[in-house]
Structure 1
Amino acid sequence: MNPTPATAEIPGYLAGTWKADPVHSQIAFSVRLLVIGKTRGRFAAHDITLITDEDPLRSSVTATIDLASIDTGNEKRDNHLRAADCLDVDKCPTMSYRSTGIRQSGDVWAVDGDLTLHGVTRQVPLTLKVKGFSSDQRGGQRAGFSATAEINRRDFGIDTGGVALSNKVSISLEIQAVLQR
């Protein structure tokens, strides 16, 4: 493979199909509460597939997140977030993301894609950092990625929380993926 300008900047870049290692990956969020603090949480169960193309700009990602796996460290709050007036996990058990394109501007990568949450689909770009590619202790290959995004919960029909809870929700992903053979 002759490296493209984009792959030349990513040491060890490998084309292939990758699955996120659930033990070494995290999907987290934070939302401002009462203007003075933040509530943080994560989704413990997810299925993420990344396809890295010979040309990184033709790569793609799909993700499905189990909304019932929400964990904020407070069982009462988690149960409220799962309820019908918030995430409504009985009716909408998952959130999904499907990339529609990848862009690069200097050192900054962006993944364009569609996020479906609470039965509503909106375009949500991710700011991406490629952490690298390397061999693991078992002879396999691993890749690391970080991504961030911000959504407005009301864009997805989630209006609970009143004025105490910010509309903006920050999302961060730390993904360690394993090359599939």
Structure 2
Amino acid sequence: MTSTSEAVDATQLGVGTWVIDPVHSSISFSVRHLLVAKVRGMFETFSGAVVVADDGTPSVTAEIAVNSINTRNDRRDAHLTSADYFDAEKYPTATFTSTGVRADGDKYAIDGDFTLKGVTKPVTLDLEFNGVIRVMDYGEVAGFEASVVLNRKDFGIDLALPFDTGSKIVSDKVGDKATITLEIEALKQA
């Protein structure tokens, strides 16, 4: 019996271009709703790549189609893509471009510029590199998990709907504990 996959050095991402496989990747988020629950969603259309230079220095780029948001509620999704929130007609994509990658204990931190709704801010993603595997007829596949904290007000999304108590319907930060989660598989290009 022939093995269909084999492990590759899990501590090193090889030189070259690694393209995000959207079929086996996800970008998801959660946001507080009415201060007592969470609404979860995802972006269904995105692309990106990790490029490892000959000297081993990695760089990351990514693009998200903002109108691909899916919270399992068409009415809410239409509102989120409207000018009240993402203004997807005027700003159809969100982008990330790394400015550096550094070790952070047994994980990594990716510093970069994130642009949403025409506003660019520096952000840091916490990254876990899950290793590389070579799959017959598929090539080398790398796995990553990343998370980032974003405050929506930093990107010009400042719709507050106050209650009589003075609290807000939507919290100021996006995500469970203000976290957006990325589960990424990337394929090495020949």
TM-score, structure 1 length as denominator? 0.90
Q: For residue 12 of structure 1, report the CA deviation from its aligned partner.
A: 5.9
Q: Indicate the residue corresponding to 1:133 in structure 2.
A: 132
SS of 1:164's equivalent?
coil
Q: Separation in 1 of the partners of 2:31 and 2:157?
A: 13
Q: For residue 54 of structure 1, report the CA deviation from its aligned partner.
A: 5.4
Q: Indicate the residue corresponding to 2:156 in structure 1.
A: 157
SS of 1:122's equivalent?
strand
Over 3 Å counting, the alpha-carbon distance change for 1:89 and 1:139 in structure 2 is: closer
Identity of aligned residues (%): 45
SS of 1:92's equivalent?
coil
Residue 173 of structure 1 pairs with residue 182 of structure 2: yes
Q: Separation in 2 of the partners of 1:137 and 1:10?
A: 17
Q: Indicate the residue corresponding to 1:36 in structure 2.
A: 36
Over 3 Å counting, the alpha-carbon distance change for 1:100 and 1:12 in structure 2 is: closer
Contact 1:16 1:52 in 2 (8 A): yes
Q: Indicate the residue corresponding to 1:101 in structure 2.
A: 100
Segments ≥4 residues shifted beyond 2 Å: 9-13, 52-56
SS of 2:154's equivalent?
helix
Q: Separation in 1 of the partners of 2:91 and 2:21?
A: 24
Which structure has the highest helix share of the two? Answer: 1
Contact 1:12 1:134 in 2 (8 A): no
Q: Separation in 1 of the partners of 2:154 and 2:127?
A: 22
Stretches of structure 2 lacking an aligned partner (at least 5 in a row): 1-8, 162-167
Provide Cα deviations, 1:120-178, integer angstroms capped at 9, x if missing partner. Answer: 00011000000110112314110000100010000000012431111111211000010
TM-score, structure 2 length as denominator? 0.86
Q: Separation in 1 of the partners of 2:20 and 2:30?
A: 22
Q: Separation in 2 of the partners of 1:87 and 1:167?
A: 15
Residue correspondence of structure 1 range 5-16 to structure 2 within 5 A: 10-11=10-11, 13-16=13-16
Q: Separation in 1 of the partners of 2:170 and 2:111?
A: 27
Computed over aligned residues only, the root mean square deviation of the Cα atoms, in angstroms, reads 1.5
Stretches of structure 1 lacking an aligned partner (at least 5 in a row): 1-8
Contact 1:14 1:133 in 2 (8 A): no
Larger mean Cα displacement after TM superposition, 101-110 or 9-18:
9-18
